[in-house]
Amino acid sequence: MDKPVRCYQDLVAWQKAMDLVTKIYQVSHKFPREEIFALTSQLRRAAVSVPSNIAEGQGRSSRKEFLYFLGNAKGSLSEVETQILIARNLGYIGDEDLNALLNLSAEVRTNSKRTPGFSQE
């Protein structure tokens, strides 16, 4: 039986998104210095946006608002995936880190299926 959701920290989607943010910071730390205000910053901001939007949505007073913020989180997750692939194309991410990041992203999506409004469609 699933544990009841009392706050955003109980949402598995939020927990997995936090893991993704941590890994993004670890991997992007190795990006070239000239990317600090470009791809590094954009990737980190998009990654931070995923759990932040899940948390903000869960903290709102209506289901409509919750779904709106979950939609934002879903969009940010797609942005993160795109930027990860750009980093790989530029040679900033090797196969091991690429697979780890994309697997974490997939975990966020998979564990979000239970959260209304955050489907993979």
Longest pairwise C-alpha distance within the chain: 49
pLDDT per residue as tens digits for the range 72-98: 999 999 999 999 999 999 999 999 999
CA distance 44 to 118: 21
- Single-letter amino acid code for the residue at 2: D
Contact criterion met (CB below 8 Å) for 104 and 57: no
Give the pLDDT confidence score for residue 1 in this predicted structure: 43
Q: Which residues contact 18 (CB under 8 A, 6 or more apart)?
A: 51
Residue 120 has pLDDT above 70, yes or no: no
The residue-averaged pLDDT of 104-121 equals: 73
Burial of 40 (0-12, 13-18, 19+ CB in 10 A): buried
pLDDT value at position 19? Answer: 98
pTM, to two decimals: 0.90
- Kindly report the three-state secondary structure assignment for every residue of the chain: CCCCCCCHHHCHHHHHHHHHHHHHHHHHCCCCHHHCCCHHHHHHHHHHHHHHHHHHHHHCCCHHHHHHHHHHHHHHHHHHHHHHHHHHHCCCCCHHHHHHHHHHHHHHHHHHCCCCCCCCC
Q: Does domain 11-112 have CATH number 1.20.1440.60?
A: yes
